[in-house]
Structure 1
Amino acid sequence: MIQFEEINENALLTDINLKDIHKEIPKLLKIKYLLDSSKEFNNNINGIIYGLHHRLFCATSVKYKDKMKIVIFLVDTGSVTTFISRKVLDAFGIYLSPNCSMEVQINGIKTTIMASHSNVKEISLLGMGFMITASVNLYIFSDNRSFCLNFLEPEDTVKKFIRKAESSKDYITSSEDANSEDDFREDSVNRINENQKRNHEKNINGLMM
């Protein structure tokens, strides 16, 4: 029988403290912590790589009923669920039991959230459920310690992907359906762009209904 070591969840964010959350990270993101907002975000989200363990932090709008605020999130690819900190919930006048969920809008997208666990109660976590539903692409730029959550892949990035895929041993295609290599590349890019646009619009429309 395989024995797994017990994980001490209280030690998972030892490199991040309240000063980081309330002052240092907002300063680097050029926002004010829990700032009221009159406009809902709905574009790509830029963030920073922060702390000893290279955490991904970003800020975007959270809307509940008629109230909207700018909230700082830690992008957590190890969590399906998106969690909102107790302080943020209090700012919206929300009480949420530990095992309950509810819906808010994050970056203009309806999202199911839960209250942050007691060991990370001051931190809001953006989970993979949100990113998959919203068709988000995550790009990390290690040179300047930043990243981008891209909600619709740029054509230039798709072209690079096609070129890289074509040179890979795992890339399998037939040129019989294309008049030339250039025609095939252009056709592939266009089809990927159109598919991504349709999927993105379908997800957004379905979530906003």
Structure 2
Amino acid sequence: MSKNIIDEIDSILYPVQMFDLLLPDVHSKEIHEEISKKLNIKYLSNSLHTEVKYVRGIIFGPYFRIFISLPVQIKQEVKNVHFLIDTGSPTTFICEEVYESFKVTMLDSSVYRVHINNIPILAQLPPINSHFTDVNLLGTEFLKIFDAKLTMDFENEYVFLSFSSFNITTQNEFNSFNITTQNGEQKFFQLKYILGGIVGFGLFCLSLFFILKKKLH
């Protein structure tokens, strides 16, 4: 591979620790208060679900930030975590405040394995010198790999996010159940039809026997 091609790839696939995003309007305070209120979900509260089919998000602030909330699981604990969807970042970042709420201490590594909406993923810590150290970013790689569908309605200021992979799995299970049920019902009715025929034929023979017996006497 030529040096020019390598340089071109390096210029595109820059190190994660070099990524930055200016967010003068969004910090931990806004996420805990205004954004949680608009989402109607308390930030870092315990979640009853590890996976959801779809979520409704919001368009927030003067810069029209897109926020959604998804269940995040670490070990056996699941919490509601608010994410800023950033189409300029392929990488997903989870801030230190989230790990602290799970009582997880980040030591030397800036990468941690978590489940976002029941999907295992390696999440990065925001770079220490970045401008979004207390914000979580949901990257496009996550959305692409798991066939997410993102709809944005700027007129009504809401966002709709669904996961096709989840729906397909659920639909397959549903279809499998229906096929099994239909096959079972079909076999039941076939057996019922056969038994009915045997009983009918037996009654016919019995009736014929009594008629012949009566004529003989």
Bin of the TM-score, shorter chain as denominator length: 0.5 to 0.7
Q: Which residue of 1 aligns with 2:37?
A: 27
Whether 1:151 aligns to 2:163 is yes
Q: Shift in Å at residue 78 of structure 1? A: 0.8
Q: Which residue of 2 aligns with 1:65?
A: 75
Q: 1:73-106 CA distances to partner (integer Å, 9 max, x unpaired)?
A: 0011111111111110111122335763222111
The 1-side partners of 2:21 and 2:82 are apart by 21
Q: Shift in Å at residue 109 of structure 1? A: 1.1
Q: Which residue of 1 aligns with 2:144?
A: 132
TM-score w.r.t. the length of structure 1 is 0.65
Whether 1:110 aligns to 2:120 is yes
- Contact in 1 for aligned 2:146/2:164 (Cα 8 Å): no
- Contact in 1 for aligned 2:55/2:161 (Cα 8 Å): yes
Runs of 4+ in 1 over 6 A off after TM superposition: none
- Contact in 2 for aligned 1:99/1:114 (Cα 8 Å): no
When residues 35 and 14 of structure 1 are mapped into structure 2, their CA distance, relative to the original with a 3 A threshold, is same
Q: Shift in Å at residue 134 of structure 1? A: 0.7
Aligned residues: 151
Alignment of 1:31-110 (within 5 A): 31-96=41-106, 100-110=110-120
Q: Shift in Å at residue 62 of structure 1? A: 0.1
The structure having more radius of gyration, on CA atoms, is: 2
Runs of at least 5 residues in structure 2 that lack an aligned partner in the other structure: 1-18, 173-217
Q: Shift in Å at residue 142 of structure 1? A: 1.3
The 1-side partners of 2:92 and 2:102 are apart by 16
The 2-side partners of 1:131 and 1:97 are apart by 28
The 2-side partners of 1:106 and 1:10 are apart by 22
Higher helix content, 1 or 2 = 2
Which amino acid is 2:77 matched to?
K
Q: Shift in Å at residue 30 of structure 1? A: 0.5
SS in 2 for 1:81: coil
Runs of at least 5 residues in structure 1 that lack an aligned partner in the other structure: 1-8, 154-195, 202-209
When residues 24 and 59 of structure 1 are mapped into structure 2, their CA distance, relative to the original with a 3 A threshold, is same
TM-score w.r.t. the length of structure 2 is 0.63
Q: 1:19-74 CA distances to partner (integer Å, 9 max, x unpaired)?
A: 31110000000011210123212311210000111000011100011111000100
- Contact in 1 for aligned 2:92/2:124 (Cα 8 Å): yes
Q: 1:5-26 CA distances to partner (integer Å, 9 max, x unpaired)?
A: xxxx877101223331110000
The 1-side partners of 2:96 and 2:65 are apart by 20
